[in-house]
Chain A
């Protein structure tokens, strides 16, 4: 774990590699907006993929343990952070970006504006920077911001989060209020527009997207197919925008295939082989 100064912001970064030295594909994960940071992705995808790749995960500005700045929450700001972060880490070769939810918009924009830095895009239930994308994000953020700006109780938050502990609810509410109420993030998102066709045309790298087949983001997949004709789209059965991130084995296998890594051995065969080696 490290804190890296990039683009004027302190960003919390984790870099994982398990096993032997040598050249490996570099995967850089970009997480979604709100109360999350990169840690969930680190446990479920980053570390498992680090057995064969180098996995870099970081918390976006305003999230997790990264710095909460008062303003600068447009996609372009996050892209500038990402490129500056790669520079600060000494990663000059093109990387495989894994853009999750809103992180998809960051990853796609990075590929369009910095094609020399992006080897490929794997988009996980992404928000795509197509017409109407900001409204889809605001629908999720604005109601929460309104409640957090008014009188709310921790009990309200506990209820909204499905009965979590008082301590957890208070922590989540504090983080969310800090970001949604005390920064310009909502105004920044409201001011966003889509990428235009010329910008999408700059994306020449391989693109794979995985959507839950019940995801609220799935209608955007048609736009991806039109704008990036070579993009491949996979559907995860029975998953919506939130639950698709729990299909870790499916997603890990898709990412492995996307970047040309061997499939992960399943646990039973690993255990059997370990026992055989003992």
Chain B
């Protein structure tokens, strides 16, 4: 029952019991009743959860425009009001500035991901052949705990300041989550599926392509999700020190000019885009792998 109801649980339960209590609406079977709600009900059921957020924004507005200027006008500069931020955001969007930096960041994230995708074949090889795992794993175990940010000084010396250096840092952030999850995905495949495939005459390379890769795919996608998230964080850090464009550069550049409103617009953009990337992959994997959703249920 609880998994049918979905996330905004409380609002829906209240609505359900209300509808079953009313005499004029004869409740049909329970599942049909539950299913009818999300379309119209979910949106409104969601609203009460935003109460605190709205209150915080109002308090912030009050603090920035009334409270802080009264204590010290200089402090008000450090905490721009939500309305100011919205106004700045509007200006940055219409001038194309925000879009320019966002695109630069996304381009780096994408090209780093293309290279980091090499973790998938490596992970499959490590998960499948014991010998490769035993040889490669010690190297990975040494490199993995080094945070991508610790590579920044060396990478600047190697690549200079620019796209390559940034992409290298992002790549490091993405590579290991994808690798580790791919290995786990391969190792967790039901051995009977592999046996069944062999028993139906599948040669080794077909077993790898059609059973091992497919079976590990849900876990690989989990790795990609984590990897893109870590990469996105590493990206901003890399741009803070070694770039002439991108969202990280944008907020660091705005700091030197005390444009706190621009900084916050940049920060919010980083957050929202990170969230969008994550949701996009979740929706995509649910569409592409309907069977794995049923497995995890």
Same assembly: no
> Which B residues are within 8 Å of any A CB, using their own CB?
none
